[in-house]
Amino acid sequence: MKWENDEILSMIEQKKYTDVREKIINLNPVHVGEIIESLDVSESILVFRMLPKDLAVDVFNYISSEVQENIISAITDKEIKHIIDELYFDDMIDLLEEMPAKVVKKILQHSNVEERKLINEFLNYPESSAGSLMTIEYVDLKKNMTIGEAIEHIKYTGINKETIYNCYVINEERKLEGIVSLRKLILSDYNLKVEDVMNKDVVYVNTGNDQEYVASLFKKYDIIVVPVVDMEDRLTGIITIDDIIDVIDQETTEDFQKMAAMAPSEEAYLDTGVFTLAKNRLMWLTILMVSATFTGNILKRFEDVLQSVVVLTFFIPMLMDTGGNAGSQSATLVIRSLALGEIETKDFFKVVYKELRVSLITGIALAILNFLRIYFLQGTDFYVSVTICITLLFTVVLSKVVGAMLPIIAKKLKMDPAIMAGPLITTIVDAGALIVYFSIAKVLLHI
């Protein structure tokens, strides 16, 4: 595919626009979007306007908000109206949320009063809620319809719906009563009623549910679409798998950023300004820098021990690094398991007990290997070697237990477990390890 993209880009450079159009109209919309993204502003607008109307709408979904803004600012009102009319409702809401006010105003000029009212209602849902993710393009049925009537209804209304594979059965008050798949309808006797074949045990979410909870339902029930109801159980919309994939990517990226002690950002790395990146990192770096003063105070408190046995200083980095790495391992596993629903806060003692056993095994193994290295190979004093290895065992146990505990405690306190990751755990473990290190040294080395 890359060679074909390169060929088209070469044609654009040579201004062979007729050949370009013949090539791109047969490409997948995603590939066309990639080509447009790689062009400068004027060329991207020119290529976009070459596209047939239906292909232009599909391609519009696969280009960045920056390029979308450039295109909307340049094309005619008639072209904007066609795009807005053909976009699925949830895609239009996403577009409006990312555009500046002047562009939003231009888009809304092509919406009628009823559409604008609905758009405003959707834009008022919390950003990470099910309501902000849903679309209103679904097929609803009445339970007293025959199967034949239901299929005719789908044929008539389904052409502009985002999905017709699942249809939702509602009553006169629009309350959700059941769900029936298109497959079930087609394979059933056309004289039966919809209520005879519908599934009444419906998995659904509320408009106020968090998007992370919605994603967990998709995984748990292995579904591709879920209905959304309001506080009175009235069907409001549906959420499809394509939106949930975006949510999973977003949540995973956010967790990685928090685990690296950075404020989350939804913008792509290259699109984010230098000052914004610095601001996102500065707060946590400041907190961790200040918390590291505890480590400095501990070193100062045991200054006499360091002066007496200078060799102890050489092993401090190894102990700290090992503790940080061990804690990060446990924290990463626990945070991911919490995100996937594999463990819950009620499993706190099970997790801690398990990590305690794991830490003893790994700690003893590392302590033995380290003793063989520093005593036999490096010729370090026996009691110094024992001091270092006992501290190493304690450090591994402490870091793994703390790494397992903190994310669960954060979850219990309704905080994001990802904030209890590497840097914070390392700071806690470093302080504990140094206290134990020098306390053992005082006893064994008679300082």
β-bridge mates for residue 166, sequence order: 181
Would you place residue 266 in the very low, low, confident or very high pLDDT band (cuts 50, 70, 90)?
A: low
75-99 pLDDT, tens digit each: 887 887 788 777 877 777 777 777 7
- On whether residue 253 sits in a domain, the answer given is no
Residue 361, pLDDT score: 96
Determine the number of helices (DSSP H) and then strands (DSSP E) in the chain: 24, 6
Instruction: List the one residue out of 237, 152, 142, 230 whose CA is nearest residue 180.
Output: 142
- Kind plus residue range of the DSSP H or E element containing 180: strand 176-181
Residue 254 lies in a domain: no
CATH code: domain of residue 358: 1.10.357.20
User: Same domain for 151 and 100?
Assistant: no
Q: What is the CATH number of the domain that holds 216?
A: 3.10.580.10
**What is the spatial distance between Cα 115 and Cα 329, in angstroms, rounded to a whole number?**
50
**pLDDT above 70: residue 265:** no
Q: Which of 69, 92, 124 is the last residue of a domain?
A: 124
Q: Which residue in this structure is represented by tokens 């020098």?
A: 438
* Measured CA angle at 284 (ends 294, 251), to 5 deg: 135
pLDDT category of residue 3 using cuts at 50, 70 and 90: low
pLDDT of 268 = 65
Q: Is 198 helix (H, G, I), strand (E, B) or coil?
A: coil
Residue 81 located in a structural domain: yes
Asked if 87 and 162 sit in the same domain, the reply is no
Q: Do 169 and 140 meet the contact criterion of CB atoms below 8 Å apart?
A: yes
Average pLDDT of the residues in 113-131: 77
In this structure, is residue 424 part of a structural domain? Answer: yes
Calculate the average pLDDT of the chain: 85
In a domain, 107, yes or no: yes
| Whether residue 120 is found in the same domain as residue 173 | no
438 and 305 both lie in a single domain? yes
Tell which of 240, 261, 278 closes a domain: 240
- 92 and 198 in a single domain? The answer is no
Question: For tokens 């904007």, what's the residue?
Answer: 80
**DSSP E strand boundaries for 320-433:** none
State how far the Cα of 22 lies from the Cα of 201, in Å rounded to an integer. 50
Q: Does 166 share its domain with 300?
A: no
Under 8 Å between Cβ of 212 and 189: no
Model pLDDT, residue 13: 84
Question: pLDDT digits over 376-392, tens only?
Answer: 989 899 999 999 999 99
Of 64-68, 88-92, 416-420, give the lowest mean pLDDT range. Answer: 416-420
So what's the pLDDT on residue 8? 82
Q: What is the pLDDT of residue 4?
A: 66
Q: Is residue 247 included in any domain, yes or no? A: no
Residue 23 pLDDT level (bands cut at 50, 70, 90): confident
Out of 153-157, 261-265, 278-282, the most confident range is 153-157
For residue 72, pLDDT over 70 is answered with: yes
Task: Give the Cα separation of 394 and 323 in Å (integer).
Answer: 9
220 and 323 share one domain: no
Closest CA to 34 of 55, 72, 64, 75: 64
In this structure, the number of other CB atoms found within 10 A of the CB of residue 278 comes to 10
Q: Grade residue 262 by pLDDT with cuts at 50, 70 and 90.
A: low
- Does 64 have pLDDT greater than 70? yes
Q: With respect to residue 102, please indicate whether it lies within any of the assigned structural domains.
A: yes
Question: Do 88 and 38 have their domain in common?
Answer: yes
- Domain limit, last residue, from 240, 271, 301: 240
- Indicate whether 175 and 318 sit together in one domain: no
What's the whole-number mean pLDDT along residues 287-293? 70
Domain count, the chain: 3
What percent of the chain shows pLDDT beyond 90? 31
Residue 98 is part of a domain; what is its CATH number? 1.25.60.10
Quick one: 11 and 101 in the same domain? yes
Could you read off the pLDDT of 349-383 as tens digits, one per residue?
A: 999 999 999 999 999 999 999 999 999 989 899 99
In a domain, 388, yes or no: yes
- For residues 204 and 173, membership in a common domain is answered with yes
pLDDT value of position 284? 67
Are 311 and 428 members of one domain? Answer: yes
What was the pLDDT predicted at 159?
84
Phi–psi pair at 210, nearest 5 degrees: -70, 145
Asked if the model's pLDDT at residue 322 lies above 70, the reply is yes
Distance between first and last Cα of the chain: 71
**Lowest mean pLDDT across 256-265, 335-344, 432-441:** 256-265
Of the pLDDT bands very low, low, confident and very high (cuts 50, 70, 90), residue 249 is confident
Give the residue numbers spanning the domain of 28: 2-124
